[in-house]
Amino acid sequence: MSSFDERFKKAVRENFDASVEHYERFEQKHHLFENLTYKLVEIMGGMEKASRVLDVGCGTGISTYSLYKCFGDNCSYYAIDISANMLDIAKNKYADLGNFIFIHGDAENLSDHFIEKFDAIFYTASLFLLPDFKKSLHQALTLLNNRGKIAISFYSGLSDMRGQDLIKKHFEGFSYRYGAFGLPDLIKWLKASKIKNFTTEYLFQAESEFLTEFLTIPAQAAGLFPRQTFNKQVSLVKEFVRDLYSFEKDTFMKWTFIVISS
Ligand SMILES: C[S@@+](CC[C@H](N)C(=O)[O-])C[C@H]1O[C@@H](n2cnc3c(N)ncnc32)[C@H](O)[C@@H]1O
């Protein structure tokens, strides 16, 4: 693993460990991650009789529980996350559900944790956080049943209504990467590896309060303004959101859904 990859992963783990309360509060109010999971399932065309699914980067279990609501009781739900604190919340919340198995581990080492195959593997708002996404996806492909699918929700940033990136448009010189790599890297790799897939974009209008609360989740704030104290990050986020809405009243949040067939 390169030293960039190691540092990036360590920062992600620590940032999410520090994000639990903000993350839960944000989600209870806005239901973003729940709705993204429903949208992803809808876009992949559902699944006939899924009996084993895997949620990669399950966080506090919001996505895992949303998958449960889609696929029901007769399915086993495996979920993995690198942040022990996020995972502890998931375990506590869903301790009563016998068919949930939460695992503390790195999504780039899926083969260390799983042998049996899955009907579907979900990367719910997590793939862009994996520096070696290729390694993870390679392993996920070997863990798929014959007609299995990998479904990914990929954060593609903030845009105007035509999909143009608002940071590039209004904040020249501000270097902000939404994750460890960009969507074009993923698309290029899928094409070069001849992996069957389809992608679709999902844009929705983001109010300034929603965006402020999203960007002040510690893991987000640290991505936007690294190497600052959290208090400083919060005030920089507020300033950033104020400036953004003064340039662009209609701000959209953009997600890309990618579905891979085995
Ligand atoms: C934006 S959160 C999404 C959480 C959850 N899927 C949801 O929809 O609420 C991203 C999650 O990916 C996890 N993550 C990041 N890198 C990871 C890695 N290398 N292995 C496993 N989990 C990882 C983070 O700890 C975090 O909980």
Q: Domain containing 148 — which CATH number? A: 3.40.50.150
Domain of residue 92, residue span: 3-161+175-206+252-261
> What radius of gyration, in Å, describes the C-alpha atoms of the chain?
18
Mean pLDDT in residue range 18-44? 97
Count of domains observed in the chain: 1
CA 252 from chain centre, in angstroms, equals 17
Give the pLDDT confidence score for residue 4 in this predicted structure. Answer: 87
| Cα 255 from Cα 73, distance rounded (Å) | 29
Q: 62 CB less than 6 Å from ligand 1?
A: yes
pLDDT at 175 over 80: no
HSE-up of residue 14 (Cα within 13 Å, Cβ side): 9
Is 12 a pocket residue for ligand 1 (Cβ < 6 Å)? Answer: yes
For the chain, give the mean pLDDT. 95
Q: How far apart are CA 125 and CA 128, in angstroms?
A: 7
Is 114 contained in some domain? yes
Task: Report the residue among 9, 20, 53, 81 best suited for mutation to probe ligand 1: largest number of ligand atoms under 8 A from its CB.
Answer: 81
Q: Give me the residues paired with residue 149 across strands.
A: 120, 261
Q: Is 237 in the pocket of ligand 1 (CB under 6 A)?
A: no
Q: Residue range 115-124: average pLDDT?
A: 97
Q: What is the pTM of this model?
A: 0.96
Ligand 1 center–CA 106 separation, angstroms: 10
- Tokens describing residue 108: 């780039």
Q: pLDDT over 70 for what percent of the chain?
A: 99
Phi, psi of 134 (to 5 degrees): -65, -40
In percent, how much of the chain has pLDDT > 90? Answer: 89
Q: How confident is the model at residue 262 (pLDDT cuts 50, 70, 90)?
A: confident
Q: Indicate whether 224 belongs to any domain.
A: no
